[in-house]
Amino acid sequence: MNSKMVFGQYVNADSWVHRLDPRTKIISLFTMMIGIFLINNLFALLACFAIVLIIVLSSKIPLTKFLSSFKMVAMLLVFTAVFQILFNTKGDILIINNIVMSGKFKLTVLSLVIIILLLIAYIYSGKIIKKFRVLTFILILIISFYIQTKINVTPVIFEYRISLHEEAFNSALKVLLRVINLISLSALLTLSTKPTDLNSGIEGIFKPFKFMKSQISIFAMMISIALRSIPTLLNESQKILKAQASRGVDFNEGKLKDKVNQIISLLVPMFVISYKKAEDLANAMEARGYIPGDDRSKLEVLKYKTSDILSYIFVLLFIAFIVIGKIYKVI
């Protein structure tokens, strides 16, 4: 299986995180996520980041696995941070070395043409800047604002003013820390828990709701299969991409119409493979005597250990700290 895949891919290691009961991991991590959402203090979020980092390092899972989790959302994180910095007008205007961080910009016809050309060059230079796309996007953004302050030779389309505020940087950092913590905890759950254990954990958590005649086992099985199918489908997509590349198809080149056709040529076999694998899985489960909703025996019965109790105590203290901080309006 492709080593670049992260979400849903279990990493075998001998750590206290791996040895925790799956119920403990699910409840603890989701409770911490809720707590992180409630925090609105920068130093408290930094403290949470330090706690999450310690947990991640102690899990003995390679950091590259966690960093790979941020690849898909890297551009979204940059866009969110830039949006917060440029358009958040709360607080005083930032002053650095007696320089007021506020400026007037003029979008002229010439500067607009240059910006469009830069964006086109960025879109069609996938191979050249593949590893530095985020940094290149930030550089283009800086150049775009710079040329609007220097070019005044053509008719002005419109003028506007942007001021950098102290609160804007704090808000951007808060959003980044919050998202980084949430993604790290989500990745930690899937990387340290086998799909079968995750299924047992979900089923165990919702077991008290059986008196409501709810099909908990079916719900847990659905989540388990969904998580397990993600890396499988990603692996199949990589195979299709390599097969297309061997036939001379290049997804980074060509016109927009050609790219749409290339994407369709990838999606169609993906749907076919998904339906085929789902049918094969259903037949295999039926052949092994799986009956939806019926009680099944477990090879390993879930039992709480001392480490699980200590984890719950830590999470309770974590939530208590947040609640007290909210009451006294310090976080």
Q: 262-286: per-residue pLDDT in tens?
A: 777 778 888 888 888 888 888 988 8
Q: What is the DSSP letter of 215?
A: -
- For the chain, strand residue ranges (E) read 95-96, 99-100, 102-108, 156-163
36, 324 Cβ separation under 8 angstroms:
no
State how far the Cα of 1 lies from the Cα of 4, in Å rounded to an integer: 9
Residue 66: pLDDT over 60: yes
CA distance 179 to 192: 20
Average pLDDT over residues 308-312: 95
Distance CA 5, CA 233 (A): 10
How much is the mean pLDDT over the chain?
81
How confident is residue 259, by pLDDT bands cut at 50, 70 and 90? low
CB-CB contact of 139 with 93 (8 Å): no
* CB-based contact 45:174 (threshold 8 Å): yes
Strand pairing report for 99-100 and 102-108: unpaired
Higher pLDDT, 67 or 321: 321
pLDDT value, residue 307: 92
Q: What is the pLDDT of residues 69-92, one digit of tens each?
A: 777 777 778 788 888 887 777 777
Check pLDDT > 80 for residue 162. no
Predicted confidence at residue 76, as pLDDT, reads 79
pLDDT of residue 51 exceeding 50? yes
Identity (one letter) of the amino acid at 47? A
What is the band of 3 on the pLDDT scale with cuts at 50, 70, 90?
very low
pLDDT band at 2 (very low <50, low <70, confident <90, very high): very low
Q: What is the distance between the alpha carbons of residues 314 and 17, in angstroms, rounded to a whole number?
A: 14
pLDDT of residue 254: 60
Rounded CA gap, 25 and 123, in Å?
Answer: 41
Q: How many other C-beta atoms can be found within 10 angstroms of the C-beta atom of residue 206?
A: 16
Entry pTM: 0.71
- Check residue 1 and give its pLDDT: 42
pLDDT at 126: 62
Residues with Cβ within 8 Å of 244's Cβ and at least 6 positions away in sequence, in order, are 251, 262, 265, 266
